[in-house]
Each structure stands twice: as structure tokens, then as C-alpha cells.
Amino acid sequence: MVLLAAGCSRAGDATTATGPGRVQSNATVVRAVDGDTVVVRVDGVDEKVRLIGVNTPESVDPRRPVQCFGKIASHHTAQLLPPGTPVRLVRDAEPRDRYGRLLAYIYRGSDGLFVNLELVTDGYAIAYPFPPNTAHRQEFAGAERAARSSSTGLWASCPSPTKQ
């Protein structure tokens, strides 16, 4: 059985501090799959995790061509979460998606970085509200507006980023 922190709140509320900016981890990154999916080890079990509330351009879906900024977003996620990185997974309303992946907000253990939000803020992902998992919808929407207005990341490189 996989145990994750339940609830949805800001990083400071959802985690237990273990030092300046640090959060108590409940999983370890095994690898990044693409920009919005990672594999983590939780209680000795490898689990595929889909980051809630964000969507990055496709880079590995065999049914679709690689989308504009897809490989770059995937590489950025791999840089933010290299193998061995301790992370805190925080759930929202649903524990898994229709593909069986865990759904989570991810906070990096070393500094508490809210990875989902960072991807949108830096223009590697778009906000992707998917009810009922919408605890950070407003935060993600605001970050997307700011990234778009400043032509950050994919907003400078791609003709029409989509929510697909």
C-alpha cells in the first residue's frame, strides 16, 4: 500500500519542515518519464506519478508526434528531479488517473520547491485544471498568465501551446 500525504494546501502547510526550505520526503525519484510524469519509489515500490494541474508538450507518446518544446520540458523536469531526489508527494481529490498513475503535487525535499508550479512559472508547462483535482488551479493560472505575458519558455518558442 502506498501512503501519501493527504490534502491539498500550500507547500508550507502540506509538509513538515526539516530545515530551511526543506520538506519531509515520502518518496524518491527513480526517473523522469517526460515533462509532467515521473517514476518514484514509495515504500519500496516504483510508481508512475502524473503531476497534477499542469501539462507539458508531448515528448514520448507513441501515438503523437513530439510537440514543440516537448523534449525541452522533459529535460527540464529531469534536471529538477534527477534520480535519487527525495520528494514529498501530496494528493488532491483523486489518488489515481484512468491510466493507474498516482496523481500528486510534488515538492522537492531539499528546498521545498513546488515542482508543478515551477514548471508553469518557467514556461515549461501550461496550467491544466482537471476536476476534481484543482486545489492549486488559481496559482497555476496566474503563473501561466505571467509566463505568457513575458514570453517565457514555450510561450516564446511555440506558435500555439495547447492543453492537449
Does 58 participate in catalysis according to the annotation?
Answer: yes
Cell for 27? 518518496
124, part of any domain = yes
CATH number at residue 143: 2.40.50.90
| Structural domain contains residue 73 | yes
121 within domain boundaries: yes
> Does 47 qualify as catalytic in the annotation?
no
Domain count, the chain: 1
pLDDT of residue 70: 65
The answer to whether position 3 is within a domain reads: no
Q: Which of 22, 47, 50, 118 is catalytic?
A: 50
Residue 99 · residue 80 · CB < 8 Å = no
Please name the residues in contact with 145: beta carbons below 8 A apart, sequence gap of 6 or more.
none
Strand partners, 107: 88, 114
Catalytic residue, chosen from 91, 101, 118, 144, is 101
13-66 residue pLDDT tens: 333 334 557 888 999 999 999 999 999 999 999 999 999 999 987 756 677 775
Chain centroid to CA 159:
23
What is the Cβ-side half-sphere exposure of residue 156, based on CA atoms within 13 angstroms?
Answer: 10
Q: Exactly one of 58, 88, 108, 144 is catalytic; name it.
A: 58
Q: From the centroid of its chain, how far is CA 58?
A: 14
3 state DSSP class of 149: helix
Q: Which of 57-71, 79-93, 104-118 has the lowest mean pLDDT?
A: 57-71
- For 137, the domain range is 14-153
